[in-house]
């Protein structure tokens, strides 16, 4: 399991439907909204601590 960097939810890498690759690393998301949010400003999420970054829930799963 890994954390969705946008909302902090646990995501199973083996079954995740939403992924993106940034700087050679694959990131996993619980929903398309989290993936889109990450892709709009990936440095905001990879540069800091994992988990929720102060945003409201963007995916409807948290």
Sorted by where each begins, the domain ranges of the chain are 2-44
Q: Residue 5: which of 37, 60, 17, 40 has the closest Cα?
A: 37
pLDDT of residue 13: 97
In tens, the pLDDT along 2-59 reads 999 999 999 999 999 999 999 999 999 999 999 999 999 999 999 754 444 445 566 6
Q: Which residues pair with 26 in a beta bridge?
A: 21
Q: Report the b/e string of 12-41 with b at 16+ CB within 10 A.
A: eeeebebeeeeeeeebbbbbebbbebbeee
Rounded-to-integer distance, Cα 20 and Cα 38, Å: 9
Residues comprising the chain, all counted: 62
């Amino acid at each position: 399991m890994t954390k969705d960097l946008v909302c902090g939810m646990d995501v199973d890498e083996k079954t995740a439907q939403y992924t993106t690759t940034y700087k050679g690393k694959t990131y996993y998301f619980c929903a398309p909204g989290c993936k889109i949010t990450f892709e709009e400003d990936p440095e905001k999420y990879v540069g800091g601590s994992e988990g929720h970054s102060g945003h409201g829930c963007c995916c409807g799963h948290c």
